[in-house]
Structure 1
Amino acid sequence: MDFFPDIQIPAHLQPYISRVWYAAGTAENAFPIFADGRTGIIFQQSGMILEKKQKTLAHSFVFGQTLDPIILHTHPNCPVLGLIFHPHVLPSVFPLHAKELTDECVDMSLLPSVPRVNLDEQLWNTASPQRQFEILFSYLEKIIHPVDRSMQYATSRILASNGKTSLKDLHYQLHLTERTFERRFEQYVGISPRLFSNIVQFQAAMKMLDSGRFSKLSDIAYANGYADQSHFIRWFRKFTGVTPLEHCRNHSILKMDIC
């Protein structure tokens, strides 16, 4: 599998696109997806399957917030391109309420106000990944709208604090009532600000777990703001379907007794 993380995102698209990736394997690829607070678009040449639902996905599809862990499978020699958006960006790319796509993958051609161009044909008739991303960047330029600055500020603060920012302080700083803040957050991000904070907190904890730089699970729990080890394990299992210990064993991370 090949990845091209160094593709340069144009400056005017950086407020929308968090990162890009490309993969082309010689065997079947499996992509485990856990909640990470991001949305985006995937372009794949043939037959990507959503394992949980045994659903064959469109060549070009948009995905919303992922809450339940899933696995995406591709057929051999199937190139895959991904554009990952910042958390608050989805309604600024497509005219929809972000919550409509939470835990969903939708054929991009079925969304309203999407230019009817044969994007798939353009992509797969181009051999160079660099050129393919240039085609995608040009396409996005035609459909994007200004981002919501208040939600940009809120999500960036939550991310910077690894999920530990006071939500009360946030809606006070934005001069919004608590209910208005929650409604707007769900409209642009797809989930509540509290759940988004939980996901960001989980991602920070999983990064520490994957690094192996800890002596016991309680170290990770307390370093990332969980009340105790049990609290950490419950949230980890909710977002991955396995316990932290099972995750370590599955990924050959376990080098010590972490019980």
Structure 2
Amino acid sequence: MKVSQPNLKTEYKKLIHSVFVFESDTKETKNLPFYADGFPGIVFFHSEHPVTVFVGSESKVMDPVFVYGQTIEPIRIQIEGPFFFVMVQLFPAVVEETLKIPVVELTNSCWTISHSDWSSEPNFSLAIENKSSSLAAEALADFILKKGEKFQPDLILHACLEEILDLKGNCEIAKLSKKHGLSERTLQRRFQNYVGLTPKQFSTIIRFQASLYELNDVSKSKLTDVAYASGYADQSHFIRQFKTFTKQRPFRFREKI
């Protein structure tokens, strides 16, 4: 299986955080694992076989285009090749403003995009006909760009979100709210409506994502090194939060990478 992350055109960047493409030319069944990353998103996939999303003990066969929200539980997507699977991470408010799906209601769930809403866009059908992941990524990004042509982000909340990302989740919410002239309670309420998570929850997820990157660094053989590099106070705190998001201990997780 090939995994890539295409570069974003400038016009996409106010709506889209990143794009990931998974593709396979073989008939093997693949299980794609996903963990909390702080961003909702939209997916476009093609396979000749049913594609199933597993969350905990629940499973659901998905339609080719669907939106997913914030999640804490690990997600596994089972897909049989040949296939392409394009995932576009959206800035949280984009979902509600452009797709008219309340971001809070979407937390821990998926929402199918009606076939009639995307099938008329030519690049979707071309991507399927040509089994082209590049056309699929372009089709999905253009779909979001068209839907969000009038989107205007909340500049204060977007700045807060960007600051948490820049600091890899290691920021004090009290200082963040004071910097932007908001009370902590106001920031929490507005941020949750905008992102689908509280600032603390979002920061925790972003720090966890930083730890995934550090865990892949083979030079860091000790968990304490990974924990401190990711901003955790100690190893036990790191292990506890890592298990919350992956249901596995860090070194056991690394063995499977």
TM-score range, shorter chain: 0.7 to 0.9
Does 27-36 or 93-102 show the bigger shift? 93-102
- Paired residues, what number? 247
Of Structure 1 and Structure 2, the greater strand share is in 2
The residue identity in structure 2 corresponding to 1:223 is: A
Aligned with residue 164 of structure 2, among 149, 152, 158:
158
The one of 96, 101, 107 aligned to 2:101: 96
Q: 1:256: which partner in 2?
A: none
Aligned counterpart, 1:50: 53
Q: CA RMSD in A?
A: 2.2
Aligned equivalents of 2:154 and 2:130: distance in 1? 34
CA contact (8 A) 1:97 1:188 kept: no
CA contact (8 A) 2:43 2:86 kept: yes
* Residues 35 and 199, structure 1, Cα contact 8 Å, conserved in 2: yes
Is it true that 1:225 corresponds to 2:231 in the alignment? Answer: yes
Distance 1:204 1:133, change over 3 A: closer
Q: 1:141 aligns with which of 125, 132, 145?
A: 145
Deviation at 1:63, TM superposition (A): 0.7
Residue 72 of structure 2 is matched in structure 1 by: 67
Is the deviation greater in 211-220 or in 59-68? 211-220
Map 1:180-191 to 2 at 5 A. 180-191=186-197
Per-residue deviation, 1:115: 4.5
Q: Is 2:225 the partner of 1:213?
A: no
Q: Once the 2 structures are TM-superposed, how far is the Cα of residue 83 of structure 1 from its aligned partner?
A: 1.3
Q: Aligned equivalents of 1:54 and 1:62: distance in 2?
A: 16
1:238 corresponds to which letter in structure 2? T
The amino acid of 1:143's aligned partner reads K
Following TM superposition, by how much is the alpha carbon of 1:42 offset from its aligned partner in structure 2, in angstroms?
Answer: 0.7
Question: Is 1:250 matched with 2:251?
Answer: no
- 1:87 Cα deviation (Å)? 4.5
SS at match of 1:54: strand
Aligned pair in 2 of structure 1 residues 177, 213: CA closer, same or farther (>3 Å)? same
* Letter aligned with residue 137 of structure 2: F
- The answer on whether the counterparts of 1:163 and 1:197 sit within 8 Å (CA) in structure 2 is yes
Q: Which amino acid letter does the alignment assign opposite residue 162 of structure 1?
A: K
Distance (whole Å) between structure 1 residues aligned to residue 136 and residue 228 of structure 2: 44
Alignment match, 1:33? 34
Contact persistence 2:35–2:74 (CA under 8 A): yes
Q: Tell me the SS of whatever aligns to 2:105.
A: helix
In structure 2, the residue matched to 1:107 is 112
Seen in structure 2, the aligned counterparts of structure 1 residues 179 and 75 have a Cα distance that, compared at 3 Å, is: same
Q: Map Cα deviations across residues 87-138 of structure 1 (whole Å, 9 max, x no partner).
A: 554333322331211111110229xxx9565455454235443333333333
Q: What's the % identity of the aligned pairs?
A: 30
Name the SS for the 2:76 alignment partner: strand
For 2:142 and 2:239, locate their aligned partners in 1 and report how far apart those are by CA, in whole Å. 43
Gap change, CA 1:165 and 1:88, over 3 Å in 2: farther
User: Which letter maps to 1:209?
Assistant: L
Q: Give the partner amino acid of 1:64.
A: G
Q: Look up the equivalent residue of 1:41 and give its one-letter code.
A: I
The answer (yes or no) to whether the contact 1:20–1:81 under 8 Å persists in 2 is yes
Alpha-carbon shift at residue 51 of structure 1 (Å): 2.4
- Asked whether the equivalents of residues 98 and 187 of structure 1 are also in contact (C-alpha less than 8 Å), the reply is yes
C-alpha contact 1:30 1:73 (8 A) present in aligned 2: yes
In 1, Cα distance between equivalents of 2:125 and 2:52? 20
CA distance in structure 1 between the aligned counterparts of 2:209 and 2:118, rounded to whole angstroms:
37
In the alignment, the residues of structure 1 paired with residue 20 and residue 35 of structure 2 have an alpha-carbon distance, to the nearest angstrom, of 16
* Distance across 2 between alignment mates of 1:233 and 1:92: 37
The equivalent residue for 2:135 is: 131
Output the TM-score relative to the length of structure 1. Answer: 0.86
